[in-house]
Structure 1
Amino acid sequence: MVDVPAQLRSVTRSYRVEERDGEEMHVQSLEQTYPAELADVWEAVTSAERIQRWFLPVSGDLRLGGRYQFEGNAGGEITVCEPPAEGAAEFSATWEAMGGVSWVTVRLQEVDAERTAFELEHSSRTADVPAEMWETFGPGATGVGWDGGLLGLSLHLGGVEGSLSPAEAEAWAGTDEGRSFYRGAADGWAVAHIASGAEAPLAERNADATYGFYTGTTPEA
Structure 2
Amino acid sequence: MLATTDTQLRDVTRTVEQDGPGFAVILAQAFDAPPAEVWAALTEPARILRYFGEVNGELREGGEFRIPMMGVHGPVLTVHERELLRLAWGFEAHASSVELRIAPSADGTESLFTLRHHVPADEHWDTYGPAATGCGWDGALLGLARHLQQPATSWTQEMAGFETSSEGREFVTAPCELWQQAHLAAGADPHQAHEAAARTAAFYRGEGPNGGDAA
Q: Is the 8 A contact 2:16 2:183 kept in 1?
A: yes
- Of residues 134, 139, 148, the one that matches 1:143 is 134
Paired residue secondary structure (1:72)? helix
5+ residue gaps, structure 1, are none
For residue 203 of structure 1, the aligned residue among 172, 177, 193 is 193
User: Does 2:135 correspond to 1:134?
Assistant: no
The amino acid across from 2:183 in the alignment is H
Change (3 A) 1:98 1:148: farther
- TM-score, normalisation: structure 1: 0.84
**1:142 CA displacement:** 1.0
C-alpha displacement at 1:199, in angstroms? 2.6
Q: In structure 1, what is the Cα distance between the partners aligned to 2:182 and 2:85?
A: 24
How does 1:119-198 map onto structure 2 within 5 Å?
119-126=114-121, 129=122, 131=123, 133-158=124-149, 165-198=155-188
Q: Distance in 2 between matches of 1:99 and 1:152?
A: 31
Partner of residue 110, structure 1? 104
Q: Give me the whole-angstrom Cα distance separating, in 2, the residues matched to 1:180 and 1:164.
A: 23
SS at 2:95 equivalent: strand
Q: CA deviation at 1:97?
A: 7.9
TM norm structure 2: 0.86
Q: Please provide the CA RMSD for this pair.
A: 2.4
Higher strand share: 1
Classify the secondary structure of the residue corresponding to 1:168. helix
Following superposition, the deviation at residue 33 of structure 1 comes to 0.5
Q: 1:211 and 1:164 mapped to 2: Cα distance?
A: 28
User: Identity over aligned residues, as a percent?
Assistant: 33
Residues 143 and 159, structure 2, Cα contact 8 Å, conserved in 1: no
Instruction: Extract unaligned runs of 5+ from structure 2.
Output: none
What code does the residue aligned with 1:150 have?
L
Q: Map of 1:5-44 to 2, 5 A cutoff?
A: 5-19=6-20, 24-44=21-41
Distance 1:154 1:2, change over 3 A: closer
Would you say the 8 A contact 1:54–1:153 is kept in 2?
yes
